[in-house]
Amino acid sequence: MAEYFFSSSIADKVINSLRMKPRILAFDFDGTLAPIADSPAEAAMPGELRRLLENLSLDNNTVIAIVSGRRLSELEQMIRIPSIIYFGNHGMTSSVEGFGAGREQLRKWSDESSMIHEKILCLESKYKGCIIENKGPVISVHYRKVDADKVKELGSLVKEIAGEHDVDLKNGKMVIELKPRTNFTKGTALSEIALKRFAGWSKDDPFLFAGDDNTDEDGFRAMKDFGERSFGFKIGDGETSADFRLLDGEILNLIKLII
Ligand SMILES: [Mg+2]
């Protein structure tokens, strides 16, 4: 079990490591930097956190990355900090040329997801509160506001539609995602950043990744290859391969300590 970071006996040592440069600081967005909102469109980073990340991103020896399940263009628009590396669709798309999947592949997947979207959209009117997002190659079915006794039924209809296509089903927090069958994950995203050696970063240098949900586990696992100054932080409860655990909203406290 990952121990709660701020009561760990090695917290000070980890903080000192994360202050060293060059360093990579990578974050999931929803539930990690931005509190989970009622609908995906309402999510926003607290102002103080935004200002800190903006300042950090201006430091040439600190690489900031945000690795999200959201559509890339939407993520960039929500955050609007230019010198950050963005990954969307769980590592499939990126603001950096050469990262993630190729254009041709993305187009094929997006064609498939548009077909799925047409079929699945009727569930929005059938299940009150259900929000369906077409995020390029990924379709998200949000059920946070759906009646609890209807969720199972909704889930099996989603599974049925998914079964007619070449996609995997992934469960997140109050969301079911239909993703193309691919090896791209948040883990491959982090590995791509590590391999690129931005700012001269090498395996002995600090690498932080924080996330709150199931898809972030791919990231935590990938980090095991990165060296002894790489640390995974799981926000909130649940099984995890991360090194440490933080409570909701505490990422801000951690960032303040490592500036
Ligand atoms: Mg998240």
Cα(177) to ligand 1 centroid in Å equals 13
Q: Among 140, 158, 180, which residue terminates a domain? A: 180
pLDDT digits (tens, 9 = 90+) for 196-251: 999 999 999 999 999 999 999 999 999 999 999 999 999 999 999 999 999 999 99
Instruction: Report residue 37's pLDDT band, with 50, 70 and 90 as the boundaries.
Output: confident
* pLDDT tens per residue across span 140-181: 999 999 999 999 999 999 999 999 999 999 998 899 999 999
What CATH number is attached to the domain comprising 153?
Answer: 3.30.70.1020
Residues 78 and 140 in one domain: no
* Last residue of one domain, picked from the residues 133, 152, 180: 180
- How far is Cα 62 from Cα 236, in angstroms, rounded to an integer? 26
Q: Specify the pLDDT at position 183.
A: 93
14 and 108 share a domain? no
> 116 C-alpha to center of ligand 1: Å?
24
Judge whether residue 1 has pLDDT over 80. Answer: no
Q: Rounded to 5 degrees, what are φ and ψ at 64?
A: -110, 130
CA of 172 to the centre of ligand 1 (A): 8
**Cα–ligand 1 centroid distance for 57 (angstroms):** 21
Find the 235 Cα to ligand 1 centroid distance in Å. 9
Task: Please indicate, yes or no, whether residues 174 and 47 belong to a single structural domain of this protein.
Answer: no
Report CA(162)–ligand 1 centroid distance (Å).
Answer: 23
Q: Which pLDDT belongs to residue 136?
A: 85
pLDDT tens profile 79-132: 999 999 999 999 999 999 999 999 999 999 999 999 999 999 999 999 999 999
- What interhelical angle do 103-120 and 151-163 show, nearest 10? 130
Looking at residue 249, its pLDDT comes to 94
- Distance, CA 67 to ligand 1 centroid (Å)? 9
Q: Measured in angstroms, how far is the CA atom of residue 87 from the centroid of ligand 1?
A: 13
pLDDT at 38: 83
Q: Which of these three, 180, 212, 247, is where a domain ends?
A: 180
How far is the centre of ligand 1, averaged over its atoms, from the C-alpha of 32 (Å)? 6
Instruction: Read off the tokens for 32.
Output: 């990690």
Distance between Cα 28 and ligand 1 center (Å): 6
**pTM for the whole structure:** 0.92
Q: Is 137 helix (H, G, I), strand (E, B) or coil?
A: coil
CA of 81 to the centre of ligand 1 (A): 19
| Cβ neighbours for 18, distance < 8 A, ≥ 6 positions apart | 25, 206, 208, 229, 231, 258
Give distance in angstroms: CA of 29 to centre of ligand 1.
6
Tell me which amino acid residue 111 is: D
pLDDT at 131: 96
Residues 32 and 145 in one domain: no
Domain count, the chain: 2
Cα(179) to centroid(ligand 1), Å: 16
Contacts of 175 (CB under 8 A, 6+ apart): 140, 141, 142, 143, 144
What is residue 178's three-state secondary structure? Answer: strand
By CB atoms closer than 10 A (0-12, 13-18, 19+), residue 140 is buried
Closest to 209 (Cα-Cα) out of 12, 18, 43 = 18
Which pLDDT does position 101 carry in this prediction?
96
Identify whether residues 72 and 173 lie together within a single domain. no
Question: Do residue 54 and residue 110 come from a single domain?
Answer: no
Distance 215 CA to ligand 1 centre (A): 8
CATH code of 215's domain: 3.40.50.1000
- Domain holding 175, by residue range, is 104-180
Task: Report, as an integer, the average pLDDT of 55-84.
Answer: 96
Question: What does the pLDDT read at residue 92?
Answer: 96
